[in-house]
Chain A
Amino acid sequence: AQSVTQLDSQVPVFEEAPVELRCNYSSSVSVYLFWYVQYPNQGLQLLLKYLSGSTLVKGINGFEAEFNKSQTSFHLRKPSVHISDTAEYFCAVSSTSGTYKYIFGTGTRLKVLA
């Protein structure tokens, strides 16, 4: 079985400051990892994904994430946030084999302050 933990339910940060949103996962098999963003009153859209290869993954809107297998983490970072980054962010995993299911974390609400 797999699980995803997003420890921070809310993260306030000032505009132009750096931010890190944490994601830890648990799995007995290899996984693929994803970060999604949800703006108010919209569905989720893909920010970035880790499938294999380089552990540092770059996504859209200046976000990046680093896969750390030993710590089973996939934290999302941005060096300088904008007001428009205010949204909810979801980490998700899927198995490299087996079921069709994706497991989502409970989400982190990022609030960028002026």
Chain B
Amino acid sequence: DVKVTQSSRYLVKRTGEKVFLECVQDMDHENMFWYRQDPGLGLRLIYFSYDVKMKEKGDIPEGYSVSREKKERFSLILESASTNQTSMYLCASSDYWSGNQPQHFGDGTRLSIL
């Protein structure tokens, strides 16, 4: 079974801090994704990566960056946290791209910015 592990379930940070969210998958998947989940808005794609060191912006990349130095690890970085980045963050991975591969999700990180 695919396992996607997010390093923290709950995180509380202060405005202006640099925040790192870590995600690791154990199935050698090519693709990894970071989403933000807010009530009534569903899942919105922040960034995705289709290979090591490769990344593409999603729909809401502003205020975020990502890093993928190893295939199994995909990090989301909030450069200078703001209160409007308080949200649930979900990491996902999928196998080679053909569109028909389902995504496998971690349990999420609930981030609060004070």
Contacts and interface: CB of A to CB of B under 8 A. Distances in A.
Contacts of A42: 107-108
Interface string B33-47: 101000011110100
Interface residues of A, number: 25
Interface string A75-114: 0000000000000001000111100111011110000000
A7 interface: no
Interface in B60-114: 90, 92, 97, 99-100, 102-108
Given A101-B45, A104-B42, A43 B90 contact: yes
A51 B100 contact: yes
Contacts, number: 57
Interface size class of B (residues with CB under 8 A): 20 to 34
B42 A90 contact: yes
A105 to B, nearest CB: 6
A3 to B, nearest CB: 11
A45 B105 contact: yes
A43 B105 contact: yes
A46 B102 contact: yes
Contact of A106 (B42, B48, B90, B107): B42
B90 A100 contact: no
B31 A106 contact: no
Contact of B103 (A41, A95, A102): A102
Contact of A43 (B41, B48, B107): B107
6 contacts: A43-B90, A44-B43, A44-B90, A44-B103, A46-B103, A90-B43
Interface of B: 4, 9, 31, 33, 35, 40-43, 45, 48, 50, 56, 58, 90, 92, 97, 99-100, 102-108
